[in-house]
Amino acid sequence: MARLIHLAAYPNTHAGSFIPFVRAVLAKAAERGWDTAAVFPPGVEESEWRADLEALGTELYFVPPERRAATGWLRGALRAGDGPVAVHTHFTGYDLGAAIAARGVPDAHVYWHVHTVLSEAAGTRLANRVKFSLVGPRLDGIFTPAADVAAELVRRGAPAAKVEVVPNAIETARFPLPAPGAKATARRDLDLPADAEVLLHFGRDWRIKGGDLFLDALARLLAEGRPAWGLINQGGEAAAAAAAARDLGARVRIVGVRSDPAELFHAADLLVSSSIGETMPFVVTEGLSSGLPVVASELAGHRYMAERVDNCVTVPSDPAALAAAAARFLDRDPAETEAAARRANEWIGEHLDVAEIAELLFDRYARDLGIVAASEVGTR
Protein backbone atom coordinates (compact mmCIF):
# COMPACT_ATOMS: atom_id res chain seq x y z
CA MET A 1 0.00 0.00 0.00
CA ALA A 2 1.24 3.50 -0.84
CA ARG A 3 2.04 5.82 2.04
CA LEU A 4 2.37 9.57 2.56
CA ILE A 5 4.34 11.12 5.42
CA HIS A 6 4.42 14.87 6.02
CA LEU A 7 7.08 16.21 8.39
CA ALA A 8 6.61 19.84 9.42
CA ALA A 9 8.86 21.81 11.76
CA TYR A 10 5.75 23.83 12.63
CA PRO A 11 5.96 25.18 16.20
CA ASN A 12 2.49 26.71 16.53
CA THR A 13 -0.43 25.29 18.48
CA HIS A 14 -2.90 27.28 16.36
CA ALA A 15 -3.72 25.99 12.90
CA GLY A 16 -3.45 29.15 10.81
CA SER A 17 -3.83 28.26 7.13
CA PHE A 18 -0.82 25.94 7.05
CA ILE A 19 -2.45 23.06 8.94
CA PRO A 20 -5.63 23.06 6.76
CA PHE A 21 -3.30 22.92 3.74
CA VAL A 22 -1.48 19.87 5.11
CA ARG A 23 -4.78 18.32 6.20
CA ALA A 24 -6.19 18.64 2.68
CA VAL A 25 -3.20 16.85 1.15
CA LEU A 26 -3.36 14.06 3.74
CA ALA A 27 -7.13 13.77 3.24
CA LYS A 28 -6.68 13.41 -0.52
CA ALA A 29 -4.20 10.58 0.02
CA ALA A 30 -6.44 8.85 2.58
CA GLU A 31 -9.38 9.16 0.18
CA ARG A 32 -7.34 7.22 -2.38
CA GLY A 33 -6.55 4.47 0.09
CA TRP A 34 -3.05 5.52 1.12
CA ASP A 35 -1.75 5.20 4.67
CA THR A 36 -0.88 8.63 6.06
CA ALA A 37 1.29 9.97 8.87
CA ALA A 38 2.35 13.42 10.04
CA VAL A 39 5.35 14.42 12.14
CA PHE A 40 5.71 17.60 14.21
CA PRO A 41 8.24 18.77 16.80
CA PRO A 42 7.66 18.13 20.50
CA GLY A 43 5.75 20.87 22.29
CA VAL A 44 2.67 20.99 20.07
CA GLU A 45 1.03 17.77 21.27
CA GLU A 46 -1.92 19.71 22.73
CA SER A 47 -2.54 21.76 19.60
CA GLU A 48 -6.03 22.81 18.60
CA TRP A 49 -5.49 21.08 15.23
CA ARG A 50 -4.46 17.64 16.49
CA ALA A 51 -7.97 16.14 16.52
CA ASP A 52 -8.62 17.29 12.95
CA LEU A 53 -5.62 15.38 11.65
CA GLU A 54 -6.33 12.29 13.74
CA ALA A 55 -9.92 12.27 12.45
CA LEU A 56 -8.49 11.45 9.01
CA GLY A 57 -6.93 8.28 10.37
CA THR A 58 -3.52 9.96 10.12
CA GLU A 59 -0.94 8.69 12.60
CA LEU A 60 0.67 11.61 14.45
CA TYR A 61 4.20 11.58 15.84
CA PHE A 62 6.17 14.23 17.70
CA VAL A 63 9.85 13.90 16.86
CA PRO A 64 12.69 16.40 17.40
CA PRO A 65 13.75 17.88 14.05
CA GLU A 66 17.44 17.50 14.84
CA ARG A 67 19.04 15.46 12.09
CA ARG A 68 19.98 12.40 14.16
CA ALA A 69 16.56 12.08 15.83
CA ALA A 70 14.65 12.71 12.62
CA THR A 71 16.81 10.35 10.59
CA GLY A 72 16.50 7.54 13.12
CA TRP A 73 12.74 7.84 13.45
CA LEU A 74 12.10 8.09 9.72
CA ARG A 75 14.49 5.28 8.84
CA GLY A 76 12.48 3.00 11.12
CA ALA A 77 9.17 4.24 9.74
CA LEU A 78 10.24 3.72 6.13
CA ARG A 79 11.35 0.17 6.79
CA ALA A 80 8.21 -0.67 8.77
CA GLY A 81 5.88 -0.67 5.77
CA ASP A 82 5.67 -2.10 2.29
CA GLY A 83 5.03 -0.29 -0.96
CA PRO A 84 6.04 3.13 -2.25
CA VAL A 85 6.14 6.11 0.07
CA ALA A 86 6.14 9.89 -0.44
CA VAL A 87 7.95 11.93 2.22
CA HIS A 88 7.18 15.66 2.21
CA THR A 89 9.03 18.02 4.57
CA HIS A 90 8.16 21.62 5.53
CA PHE A 91 10.15 24.47 7.15
CA THR A 92 13.59 22.83 6.63
CA GLY A 93 13.97 21.19 10.05
CA TYR A 94 13.40 17.65 8.80
CA ASP A 95 14.95 18.10 5.33
CA LEU A 96 18.30 16.40 5.78
CA GLY A 97 16.92 13.70 8.06
CA ALA A 98 14.36 12.75 5.41
CA ALA A 99 16.92 12.68 2.61
CA ILE A 100 19.38 10.58 4.62
CA ALA A 101 16.74 8.14 5.87
CA ALA A 102 15.39 7.54 2.36
CA ARG A 103 18.76 6.51 0.93
CA GLY A 104 18.71 2.85 0.04
CA VAL A 105 14.96 2.51 0.62
CA PRO A 106 13.28 1.26 -2.56
CA ASP A 107 10.38 3.43 -3.72
CA ALA A 108 10.97 6.22 -1.18
CA HIS A 109 10.38 9.63 -2.76
CA VAL A 110 11.38 12.82 -0.93
CA TYR A 111 10.06 16.37 -1.41
CA TRP A 112 11.26 19.49 0.37
CA HIS A 113 8.97 22.50 0.76
CA VAL A 114 10.73 25.86 1.25
CA HIS A 115 8.20 28.26 2.81
CA THR A 116 10.48 31.15 3.75
CA VAL A 117 12.87 33.55 2.04
CA LEU A 118 16.46 32.32 2.08
CA SER A 119 18.82 34.28 4.31
CA GLU A 120 21.51 36.39 2.64
CA ALA A 121 24.02 35.74 5.45
CA ALA A 122 27.29 34.43 4.02
CA GLY A 123 27.29 31.33 6.22
CA THR A 124 23.73 30.46 5.27
CA ARG A 125 24.42 30.95 1.57
CA LEU A 126 27.36 28.53 1.81
CA ALA A 127 25.35 25.97 3.79
CA ASN A 128 22.51 26.27 1.27
CA ARG A 129 24.84 25.70 -1.65
CA VAL A 130 26.22 22.53 -0.07
CA LYS A 131 22.75 21.31 0.88
CA PHE A 132 20.96 21.99 -2.40
CA SER A 133 23.78 21.01 -4.76
CA LEU A 134 24.71 17.77 -2.98
CA VAL A 135 21.30 16.57 -1.80
CA GLY A 136 19.02 18.27 -4.31
CA PRO A 137 19.71 15.86 -7.20
CA ARG A 138 18.50 12.93 -5.05
CA LEU A 139 15.14 14.55 -4.31
CA ASP A 140 11.96 14.16 -6.31
CA GLY A 141 10.97 17.79 -5.91
CA ILE A 142 11.63 21.09 -4.14
CA PHE A 143 8.49 23.20 -3.74
CA THR A 144 8.19 26.87 -2.84
CA PRO A 145 5.30 29.37 -3.00
CA ALA A 146 7.22 32.21 -4.69
CA ALA A 147 8.98 32.55 -8.05
CA ASP A 148 11.86 34.64 -6.63
CA VAL A 149 12.62 31.97 -4.02
CA ALA A 150 12.51 29.30 -6.75
CA ALA A 151 15.10 31.26 -8.76
CA GLU A 152 17.27 31.72 -5.68
CA LEU A 153 17.13 27.99 -4.93
CA VAL A 154 18.55 27.32 -8.38
CA ARG A 155 21.25 29.94 -7.89
CA ARG A 156 22.21 28.17 -4.67
CA GLY A 157 22.67 24.83 -6.39
CA ALA A 158 19.23 23.20 -6.54
CA PRO A 159 18.62 21.41 -9.86
CA ALA A 160 16.26 23.61 -11.89
CA ALA A 161 14.27 20.57 -13.03
CA LYS A 162 13.46 19.71 -9.42
CA VAL A 163 12.23 23.18 -8.35
CA GLU A 164 8.53 23.96 -8.68
CA VAL A 165 6.35 26.89 -7.59
CA VAL A 166 3.31 25.68 -5.62
CA PRO A 167 1.24 28.66 -4.44
CA ASN A 168 -0.01 28.75 -0.87
CA ALA A 169 -3.66 27.73 -0.64
CA ILE A 170 -6.33 28.37 1.98
CA GLU A 171 -9.51 26.69 3.13
CA THR A 172 -11.75 29.24 1.42
CA ALA A 173 -14.88 28.20 3.33
CA ARG A 174 -13.25 29.76 6.43
CA PHE A 175 -12.87 33.13 4.68
CA PRO A 176 -16.21 34.08 3.12
CA LEU A 177 -17.41 37.50 2.11
CA PRO A 178 -18.95 39.20 5.15
CA ALA A 179 -22.65 38.80 5.81
CA PRO A 180 -24.77 41.95 6.23
CA GLY A 181 -24.06 43.50 9.60
CA ALA A 182 -20.80 41.59 10.12
CA LYS A 183 -18.67 44.75 9.99
CA ALA A 184 -20.73 46.55 12.61
CA THR A 185 -20.70 43.55 14.92
CA ALA A 186 -16.94 43.03 14.55
CA ARG A 187 -16.22 46.69 15.26
CA ARG A 188 -18.33 46.67 18.40
CA ASP A 189 -16.50 43.56 19.62
CA LEU A 190 -13.10 45.14 18.89
CA ASP A 191 -14.01 48.60 20.24
CA LEU A 192 -13.50 50.30 16.89
CA PRO A 193 -15.55 53.30 15.74
CA ALA A 194 -18.32 52.48 13.30
CA ASP A 195 -17.29 55.30 10.94
CA ALA A 196 -13.51 54.73 11.02
CA GLU A 197 -11.34 53.69 8.09
CA VAL A 198 -9.76 50.59 9.57
CA LEU A 199 -6.45 49.33 8.18
CA LEU A 200 -5.56 45.76 9.19
CA HIS A 201 -1.99 44.52 9.60
CA PHE A 202 -0.62 41.15 10.73
CA GLY A 203 2.59 41.72 12.68
CA ARG A 204 3.64 38.34 14.06
CA ASP A 205 7.30 39.17 13.28
CA TRP A 206 7.25 42.97 13.56
CA ARG A 207 10.40 43.55 11.48
CA ILE A 208 9.78 41.00 8.73
CA LYS A 209 6.13 42.03 8.46
CA GLY A 210 7.12 45.66 7.94
CA GLY A 211 5.30 46.88 11.03
CA ASP A 212 7.03 50.26 11.15
CA LEU A 213 6.16 50.86 7.49
CA PHE A 214 2.52 50.15 8.29
CA LEU A 215 2.44 52.61 11.19
CA ASP A 216 4.21 55.30 9.16
CA ALA A 217 1.62 54.89 6.40
CA LEU A 218 -1.16 55.10 9.00
CA ALA A 219 0.38 58.32 10.36
CA ARG A 220 0.38 59.82 6.85
CA LEU A 221 -3.31 59.05 6.40
CA LEU A 222 -4.09 60.67 9.75
CA ALA A 223 -2.04 63.74 8.79
CA GLU A 224 -4.22 64.06 5.70
CA GLY A 225 -7.26 64.26 7.96
CA ARG A 226 -8.61 60.79 7.30
CA PRO A 227 -10.46 58.90 10.09
CA ALA A 228 -7.86 56.10 9.98
CA TRP A 229 -7.39 53.43 12.63
CA GLY A 230 -4.89 50.60 12.77
CA LEU A 231 -5.91 47.07 13.73
CA ILE A 232 -2.83 44.93 14.39
CA ASN A 233 -2.85 41.18 14.94
CA GLN A 234 0.02 39.57 16.91
CA GLY A 235 2.17 42.71 17.04
CA GLY A 236 2.60 42.43 20.79
CA GLU A 237 5.03 44.66 22.68
CA ALA A 238 6.93 45.64 19.55
CA ALA A 239 3.77 47.04 17.96
CA ALA A 240 2.73 48.82 21.15
CA ALA A 241 6.15 50.44 21.53
CA ALA A 242 6.28 51.51 17.88
CA ALA A 243 2.77 52.99 18.06
CA ALA A 244 3.61 54.87 21.25
CA ALA A 245 6.80 56.26 19.72
CA ARG A 246 4.68 57.76 16.91
CA ASP A 247 1.97 58.98 19.28
CA LEU A 248 -0.49 56.61 17.59
CA GLY A 249 -1.49 54.55 20.61
CA ALA A 250 -5.00 56.01 20.73
CA ARG A 251 -5.61 55.08 17.07
CA VAL A 252 -4.35 51.51 17.18
CA ARG A 253 -5.93 48.29 18.44
CA ILE A 254 -3.53 45.39 19.03
CA VAL A 255 -5.03 41.91 19.39
CA GLY A 256 -3.48 38.50 19.96
CA VAL A 257 -3.64 35.21 18.10
CA ARG A 258 -7.08 34.29 16.83
CA SER A 259 -8.11 30.73 15.97
CA ASP A 260 -10.59 32.26 13.55
CA PRO A 261 -9.39 35.62 12.13
CA ALA A 262 -12.63 36.22 10.20
CA GLU A 263 -13.71 38.87 12.72
CA LEU A 264 -10.55 40.87 11.99
CA PHE A 265 -11.12 40.77 8.24
CA HIS A 266 -14.77 41.74 8.65
CA ALA A 267 -13.91 44.69 10.91
CA ALA A 268 -11.42 46.19 8.46
CA ASP A 269 -11.73 48.25 5.28
CA LEU A 270 -8.29 47.37 3.95
CA LEU A 271 -5.40 44.96 4.56
CA VAL A 272 -1.85 46.30 4.43
CA SER A 273 0.83 43.63 3.92
CA SER A 274 4.05 45.63 4.12
CA SER A 275 6.37 42.63 4.57
CA ILE A 276 10.02 43.09 3.68
CA GLY A 277 10.94 39.40 3.30
CA GLU A 278 8.36 36.64 2.85
CA THR A 279 7.31 34.20 0.16
CA MET A 280 3.51 34.27 -0.25
CA PRO A 281 1.81 35.27 3.02
CA PHE A 282 -1.35 33.27 3.70
CA VAL A 283 -2.94 36.38 5.18
CA VAL A 284 -3.08 38.15 1.81
CA THR A 285 -5.08 35.32 0.26
CA GLU A 286 -7.27 35.10 3.36
CA GLY A 287 -7.97 38.83 3.29
CA LEU A 288 -8.80 38.90 -0.41
CA SER A 289 -11.11 35.91 -0.02
CA SER A 290 -12.82 37.75 2.84
CA GLY A 291 -13.52 40.75 0.61
CA LEU A 292 -10.75 43.11 1.68
CA PRO A 293 -8.70 45.12 -0.80
CA VAL A 294 -4.98 44.62 -0.21
CA VAL A 295 -2.07 47.04 -0.48
CA ALA A 296 1.16 45.07 -0.46
CA SER A 297 4.90 45.51 -0.82
CA GLU A 298 6.64 44.37 -3.98
CA LEU A 299 7.40 40.76 -3.07
CA ALA A 300 7.04 37.97 -5.61
CA GLY A 301 4.24 36.30 -3.64
CA HIS A 302 2.38 39.62 -3.45
CA ARG A 303 2.88 40.22 -7.19
CA TYR A 304 1.44 36.78 -7.91
CA MET A 305 -1.84 37.91 -6.36
CA ALA A 306 -1.79 41.45 -7.80
CA GLU A 307 -1.33 40.09 -11.32
CA ARG A 308 -4.41 37.91 -10.97
CA VAL A 309 -6.75 39.80 -8.64
CA ASP A 310 -7.61 43.46 -9.21
CA ASN A 311 -8.43 43.98 -5.54
CA CYS A 312 -4.71 43.73 -4.75
CA VAL A 313 -1.97 46.17 -5.66
CA THR A 314 1.77 46.17 -4.97
CA VAL A 315 3.77 49.33 -4.27
CA PRO A 316 7.32 50.15 -3.15
CA SER A 317 8.15 49.66 0.51
CA ASP A 318 7.64 53.31 1.30
CA PRO A 319 5.08 54.87 3.69
CA ALA A 320 3.99 57.47 1.13
CA ALA A 321 3.34 54.82 -1.54
CA LEU A 322 1.48 52.59 0.91
CA ALA A 323 -0.66 55.49 2.15
CA ALA A 324 -1.47 56.72 -1.36
CA ALA A 325 -2.54 53.26 -2.52
CA ALA A 326 -4.62 52.79 0.61
CA ALA A 327 -6.37 56.12 0.01
CA ARG A 328 -7.23 55.14 -3.55
CA PHE A 329 -8.91 51.94 -2.36
CA LEU A 330 -10.70 53.70 0.48
CA ASP A 331 -12.06 56.36 -1.89
CA ARG A 332 -13.54 53.94 -4.42
CA ASP A 333 -17.23 53.90 -5.19
CA PRO A 334 -18.92 51.36 -2.85
CA ALA A 335 -20.38 49.43 -5.81
CA GLU A 336 -16.90 49.07 -7.32
CA THR A 337 -15.52 47.96 -3.98
CA GLU A 338 -18.21 45.30 -3.66
CA ALA A 339 -17.72 44.02 -7.20
CA ALA A 340 -13.93 43.79 -6.79
CA ALA A 341 -14.36 41.90 -3.52
CA ARG A 342 -16.67 39.40 -5.19
CA ARG A 343 -14.28 38.86 -8.12
CA ALA A 344 -11.35 38.22 -5.78
CA ASN A 345 -13.35 35.79 -3.64
CA GLU A 346 -14.46 33.84 -6.72
CA TRP A 347 -10.98 33.67 -8.25
CA ILE A 348 -9.40 32.44 -5.03
CA GLY A 349 -12.15 29.86 -4.55
CA GLU A 350 -11.48 28.51 -8.02
CA HIS A 351 -7.69 28.57 -8.02
CA LEU A 352 -6.30 28.69 -4.46
CA ASP A 353 -8.59 26.55 -2.37
CA VAL A 354 -6.73 23.81 -0.50
CA ALA A 355 -8.68 21.17 -2.44
CA GLU A 356 -7.18 22.41 -5.72
CA ILE A 357 -3.59 22.44 -4.49
CA ALA A 358 -4.03 19.11 -2.66
CA GLU A 359 -5.12 17.54 -5.95
CA LEU A 360 -2.08 19.01 -7.69
CA LEU A 361 0.33 17.66 -5.09
CA PHE A 362 -1.33 14.26 -4.85
CA ASP A 363 -1.16 13.85 -8.62
CA ARG A 364 2.55 14.66 -8.44
CA TYR A 365 3.14 12.03 -5.75
CA ALA A 366 1.10 9.45 -7.66
CA ARG A 367 3.03 9.95 -10.90
CA ASP A 368 6.39 9.72 -9.14
CA LEU A 369 5.29 6.60 -7.24
CA GLY A 370 4.01 4.99 -10.44
CA ILE A 371 0.36 5.06 -9.33
CA VAL A 372 -2.62 6.25 -11.36
CA ALA A 373 -3.01 9.96 -10.59
CA ALA A 374 -6.17 11.23 -8.91
CA SER A 375 -7.15 13.23 -11.99
CA GLU A 376 -6.95 10.07 -14.11
CA VAL A 377 -9.15 7.92 -11.89
CA GLY A 378 -12.26 6.95 -13.84
CA THR A 379 -10.76 7.93 -17.21
CA ARG A 380 -9.25 4.57 -18.05
Report domain 3-113+353-376's class.
alpha beta
Arithmetic mean of pLDDT, 270-282: 95
User: pLDDT digit string (tens) for 288-318?
Assistant: 999 999 999 999 999 999 999 999 999 999 9
Q: Rounded CA gap, 128 and 95, in Å?
A: 12
Arithmetic mean of pLDDT, 249-260: 90
Q: In this predicted structure, what is the pLDDT of residue 64?
A: 96
What CATH architecture does domain 172-351 belong to? 3-Layer(aba) Sandwich (3.40)
Give the start-end residues of each E strand in the chain: 3-8, 35-40, 59-62, 85-90, 108-113, 141-144, 163-165, 197-202, 228-233, 252-255, 270-273, 294-297, 312-315
User: pLDDT digit string (tens) for 120-133?
Assistant: 999 999 999 999 99
Q: In this predicted structure, what is the pLDDT of residue 374?
A: 46
pTM of the prediction? 0.92
Q: In this predicted structure, what is the pLDDT of residue 184?
A: 96
Comma-separated ranges of CATH 3.40.50.2000 domains in the chain:
172-351
User: pLDDT digit string (tens) for 208-250?
Assistant: 999 999 999 999 999 999 999 999 999 999 999 999 999 999 9
With 0-12 / 13-18 / 19 or more C-beta atoms within 10 angstroms meaning exposed / middle / buried, residue 35 is middle
Q: In this predicted structure, what is the pLDDT of residue 373?
A: 52
Arithmetic mean of pLDDT, 23-46: 96
pLDDT above 50 (res 182): yes
What confidence category does residue 148 fall into, taking pLDDT thresholds of 50, 70 and 90?
A: very high
User: pLDDT digit string (tens) for 94-106?
Assistant: 999 999 999 989 8
Side-chain-side CA neighbours of residue 49 (13 Å): 23
Q: In this predicted structure, what is the pLDDT of residue 369?
A: 94
Q: In this predicted structure, what is the pLDDT of residue 104?
A: 87
**Lowest mean per-residue pLDDT among 43-57, 144-158, 250-264:** 250-264
